[in-house]
Amino acid sequence: MLLSSIVAVFALCTSALAQRATAPFTEPKSGITFQAYKHTSGYQFGIALPPKPGNDFIGHLSAPASVGWAGGDLGPKMVGKLLIVAWPNGGSVVGSLRRATRKSSPPPYTGAAKLKPIAAGTYANASHWSYTFLCEGCLADPAVGFAKDAPAGDLGWAAGARAPADKASANAGLSYHNVGAGSIQANFAQAKATGYDAWAAKAA
Ligand code: HEM
């Protein structure tokens, strides 16, 4: 009885871990392949790296229309690393780089990194929305980026149901992540893609 309970708890833990890992995902409109984490809500966060990682990566955030904002975190904790936040605004999507110093609506990031949308994978329709982007310079400072040369590392995710009040502004205040938030085990080795340069060249 005790043994079977231990086995059951162990099985639960390993399946919970497996659910937090990234897996291959091809964004259908842009054809870009990511290592992506998908939450049961439909939220998704993916990354693609060049064969030799530099200062940039290509990212993807998408969610059902019921999700007001979605965020990707370049580390497993809310405070410290770069946060990429996106939300739909009409037929388009607004992206914003943030950095939190405490657990409240994170202010805009003031460093040199930039988000450049990739049009083919960036849209909003009645059922869901998608933001595909080049995160330019996002890995230049190891204090805010992930360890791109490691085979794997921990990232984070967050999503909130309530859209920002001022959807048109990239500096809009955010509501709490009531859809969920937590860490992700990202496979950087498998995020490397030979098509990277051609995909990155499409960023505006
Ligand atoms: C109004 C905005 C926000 C508030 C008030 C807030 C608040 C909090 C609080 C209180 C926690 C502790 C555990 C929990 O309650 O879930 C937390 C955790 C977390 N948050 Fe936020 N957050 C906000 C926005 C964001 C954004 C934009 C991101 C990422 C893009 C983010 C990523 C995370 C992650 C990954 C965790 C889990 C790890 C940790 O506890 O550090 N949060 N947040």
Residue 46 pLDDT: 98
Quote the ligand 1 centre to 201 CA distance (angstroms): 33
Measured distance CA(43)–CA(104) in Å, rounded: 21
Give 167's contacts (C-beta < 8 A, 6+ positions apart).
87, 88, 89, 94
Probe ligand 1: pick from 87, 96, 103, max atoms within 8 Å of CB? 103
Residue 28 pLDDT: 97
Residue 174 within a domain: yes
Residue 111 within a domain: yes
Residue 2 pLDDT: 54
For the stretch 21-37, pLDDT in tens is: 999 999 999 999 999 99
For the stretch 55-94, pLDDT in tens is: 999 999 999 999 999 999 999 999 999 999 999 999 999 9
- Please state the domain count of the chain: 1
pLDDT surpassing 50 at residue 3 = yes
User: Residue 94's domain is classified under what CATH number?
Assistant: 2.60.40.1210
Residue 15 within a domain: no
Residue range of the domain that includes 46: 22-200
Distance of CA 2 to the CA centre of its chain: 40
Residue 13 within a domain: no
Nearest atom (ligand 1) to Cα of 69: 27
Contact 83, 100 (CB under 8 A): yes
Residue of 77, 182, 28, 204 lying closest to 133 (CA atoms): 204
Residue 89 pLDDT: 97
How many percent of the chain have pLDDT more than 90?
91
pLDDT surpassing 80 at residue 14 = no
> Confidence class of residue 138 from pLDDT cuts 50, 70 and 90?
very high
The closest residue, in CA terms, to atom 33 on ligand 1 is 78
**Plot region of 3 (φ>0 → left; ψ -120 to 50 → alpha; else → beta):** alpha
Residue 8 within a domain: no
Measured distance CA(172)–CA(114) in Å, rounded: 17
Residue 130 within a domain: yes
For the stretch 101-127, pLDDT in tens is: 999 999 999 999 999 999 999 999 999
Probe ligand 1: pick from 45, 78, 96, 109, max atoms within 8 Å of CB? 78
Residue 177 within a domain: yes
Identify the bridge partners of residue 158 per DSSP, sorted by sequence position. Answer: 71, 181
Residue 7 within a domain: no
Q: How long a stretch of residues is the chain?
A: 204
Quote the ligand 1 centre to 144 CA distance (angstroms): 16
pLDDT surpassing 80 at residue 11 = no
Residue of 66, 42, 46, 67 lying closest to 57 (CA atoms): 46
Average pLDDT estimate for 41-58: 98
pLDDT surpassing 90 at residue 10 = no
Residue 13 pLDDT: 47
Write b or e for each residue in 114-132: b if 16 or more Cβ atoms lie within 10 A of its Cβ, otherwise e.
bbebbebbbbbeeebbbbb
